[in-house]
Amino acid sequence: MKVKMILPALTEALSPFWRPIKYHLFPPLGLASIASFFDADDDIDLQDEHVERLNLDDEPDLVVIQVYITSAYRAYALADHYRRKGAYVVLGGLHVTALPEEAAQHADSIFLGPGEDTWPQFLQDFREGHPAKRYQSKIRTLVGVPPIRRDLIKRYHYLIPNSIVVSRGCPHHCDFCYKDAFYKDGKSFYMQPVDEALAEIDRLPGKHLYFLDDHLFGNTEFAAELFEGMKGMGRVWQAAGTVESVLRPGLLEKAVDAGLRSLFVGFETLNPHSLKEQHKYQNLNRDYSLAIQRLREHGVMVNGSFVYGMDNDDETVFERTVEWAVSQGIETATFHILTPYPGTLLYDRMAEQHRITNHNWDRYDTRHAVYRPMNMSVETLEAGYWRSYREFYRWSSIFRGAWTKEHAADRMRHLFYTGSWKKAEPVWDFLIRAKQVNRLLPMLETVLTSFGHHPWMQGEEEEGPLSSSLKHSL
């Protein structure tokens, strides 16, 4: 059987003028995971349109397309193209699960939710000549799932080819998150067996890893066992976690010993009323500054995430947020405009209030306001979003952030890492077009390796002032 698997590109990723590095970071793991269920003699062509021009002149028997909201129109156009050519087309992913009736107009079969249980059933049905129109995931397990088909991934296209996922979903339930919509009708947080996760890690070349799990620290027992198993593997890695997980005594230490060097943390907002509004209770009554101090003392860089446009936000939220992030010495920050994705509680609430003003999915990219904010205009919200990036990544802000660090080595790393991420965008663009992005991976490994336990921490008593503060914050 001849199979074509496609990750369609967002419009921005195909711009002839500017190619952001974020679209060249990670390979399409979802499709490579699904590919593992095919037979060894099936001919599979996996293409990521973010990094390569699609070949649309081929004649596959089966076409598999992964759909995100901001690539939905492109995905539908590709699906229609291949259906006209006589191929059997299936669609799956977050957007398909959120709006199945819309997606079904462009597919022969659609997949709702994760595919570990439904994909083997579909392949059996397809080979027997009677595939169903819809497959709904209900049995949620990663036990015995075959290894990802990494041989289908063109590693040289990506800065971080060693991305990995060892769990699905998240234990929390935030109103603006797609997670509950995607994992409805079954478990919404489950893990791979630790020994299988360690085996997958062991198969990856080089030193660097990036865990794309929504919340790698979400199950303490699993995370602790995973980190213990990773000790001595010589890895340096990045991941995402919550403020609560950073403040949890013992777990961060295990992660650092296993090679953690950079953590994505969803602070989202500095306003506790906004946290309650979005049911992000895991951040309530948590000391953000203490979490950052704790990460810093363990040599872990921070990528802070912030969301604008919640109902308690007014036009002062932008300056306050950026000033706080810079004063805390956060190395990198990502800013977002609150976006009511279909299928979320936020979308339902805003639709009921008649506040959603735009259903063009291309604009659901967290850079455009597609609803009426409560305490500012759409224009103010969008302008504040762009201003936040400019202010945070000004050289003056980068230097201020660097000088919150006590030691010269940490200051230099901050200047290099933060400056390289945004100030070197023309260089990234050149490397992308020259297909040389992967050549900078050794430099990334070197920077991350230079972090970790600091010499001045050695010999400190376990019950130091930070440990004491930690107990009172939990």
Task: Copy the structure tokens of residue 348.
Answer: 């339902």
Residues 6+ apart with CB under 8 A from 89: 62, 63, 65, 79, 82, 83, 106, 107, 108, 109
pTM of the model: 0.90
Give the number of other CB atoms < 10 A from CB of residue 149.
18
Q: pLDDT, tens digit, for every residue of 154-197?
A: 998 898 999 999 999 888 788 888 778 888 888 889 999 999 99
On whether the CB atoms of residues 188 and 180 are closer than 8 A, the answer is yes
Ranges assigned E (strand) in 17-87: 43-48, 62-66
In the block, which residue shows the tokens 């590109």?
9
State yes or no: pLDDT of 133 exceeds 70: yes
Distances (CA, A) of 295 to 241, 256, 303, 353: 11, 9, 11, 40
Percentage above 90 pLDDT, the chain: 69
Structural domains of the chain in order of their starting residue, each with its CATH number:
2-136 (3.40.50.280), 159-456 (3.20.20.70)
pLDDT at 273: 64
Alpha-carbon dihedral sign for residues 179, 185, 186, 187: positive
Distances (CA, A) of 196 to 1, 118, 204, 249: 29, 21, 13, 27
Smallest CA-to-CA distance from 31 within 51, 52, 47 is with 47
pLDDT at 132: 98
State yes or no: pLDDT of 452 exceeds 80: no
Q: pLDDT, tens digit, for every residue of 368-411?
A: 999 999 999 999 999 999 999 999 999 999 999 999 998 888 88
Q: Bigger pLDDT: 142 or 453?
A: 142
